[in-house]
Amino acid sequence: MTLTGTPRPLSGAPRRPTETARRLAAFLAERAPWRVYATYAVLWVCALESTLAVLTPGTDWTVGGSLLVEVVTVYLALLFVRVVDEQKDLEYDRLHHPDRPLPRGAIDVRELRVAMVLIVVAELGLTGWRSLLLTGWLLFGLLYICFLVQLERWSATVRDRIFVNLLVSYPVQAILSVHIWLSFREATGGGSAPHALVGGLLCMFVFLHFEFARKTGAQEVPGATLYSNVVGLRGSLALTVGCALAGTALVLAVVRPWELHGAAALAGWLPVTALGFLATGAERFAALRTPTWPTGPAMGYLAWQYLGLSVAALAVVRPGIGG
């Protein structure tokens, strides 16, 4: 699985800009639907920034322009990851997923690289006017994403060993979490490094529940990229369930709903209900209705946990909202 510019996808006369734009739009609609990617960006940024606001009493944090700009910045970074991954996995997809846009010829490598350039330009515009630190850190993240492609080419261990691959690829999420923290500091002047660490760990556990869940299989499948192939079913289930419980516990430690009153207390306990998605996924998986842990409940846990955290944090930061 390498980022490759083989003659086939790069050959042919250049297309008109309007045709390239149409093909890119169709590609993104299929491989990076905005409802999923934009929703994730909104929930992630809101959850992490609201966590920082709770941990920094007196911070003048509002749901406003700075937060919106950071959401768009993170959303574009996620699109960049998707575009790079499609190129990285081209050879694999030709064998196993020939119906995807790049192997079937609905888009080519040149057009995807045009998209990468356009995203970088847009990101420079979104961050450059805020601070050089935000711009530099984001560019570091985008360069790291591209570096991972070469790393997988150079190292069979990174490419083929799923836990090693997770170890070197998760920093992309961590880098973006740091960017959200830096944006929060730029906008409010608050948010210490220890508070950022708490927020980053919280987001890590919530994300890793989804990551482990979607690659936990009921049976060992030779050649499949499943965590359960390496640590066994029990080990993979322990990671899946453990991350969900750890994420929820950290959310409660941040919000401390037992110290709230009235409607604010109800809002504070809202993140706990995300465990309902954990229970649903476990029930479906245990009943062997799906060969792997169902993706829907895993995504539901992530989305509902972030939404619940944001609502609960608002009840703490803006108690007048909760009553």
* Residue 7 pLDDT greater than 50, yes or no: no
Q: Which residues pair with 292 in a beta bridge?
A: 217
* Residue 318 pLDDT greater than 80, yes or no: no
**Each residue's pLDDT tens digit, 213-258:** 999 998 887 777 899 999 999 999 999 999 999 999 999 999 999 9
* Residue 316 pLDDT greater than 50, yes or no: yes
**Each residue's pLDDT tens digit, 162-219:** 999 999 999 999 999 999 999 999 999 888 999 999 999 999 999 999 999 999 998 8
> Phi, psi (5° rounding) for residue 14?
-60, 140
> What pLDDT band is residue 269 in, cutting at 50, 70 and 90?
very high
pLDDT of residue 51: 95
What percentage of the chain exceeds 90 in pLDDT?
74
* Residue 97 pLDDT greater than 70, yes or no: yes
Tokens 């970074």 belong to residue: 77
pLDDT of residue 13: 54
**Each residue's pLDDT tens digit, 39-82:** 999 999 999 999 999 999 888 788 788 999 999 999 999 999 99
Mean pLDDT throughout 81-98?
86
DSSP string, 182-235: HHHHHHHS---HHHHHHHHHHHHHHHHHHHHHHT-BSS--TT---HHHHHHHHH
The answer to whether the CB of 162 falls within 8 A of the CB of 230 is: yes
pLDDT of residue 6: 41
**Please, what is the average pLDDT of the chain?**
90
Return the number of other C-beta atoms located less than 10 Å from residue 289's C-beta.
9
> What pLDDT band is residue 319 in, cutting at 50, 70 and 90?
low
Q: Which residues does 230 contact at the CB level (< 8 Å), separation at least 6?
A: 161, 162, 163
Mean pLDDT throughout 144-171?
93
Mean pLDDT throughout 302-312?
96
- Tell me which fold the domain 19-191 belongs to: Tetracycline Repressor; domain 2 (1.10.357)
Token pair in block for residue 161: 């060993």
* Residue 99 pLDDT greater than 70, yes or no: yes
The answer to whether the CB of 213 falls within 8 A of the CB of 281 is: yes
pLDDT of residue 61: 82
Cα distance from N-terminal residue to C-terminal residue, the chain: 54
**Type of residue numbered 162:** I
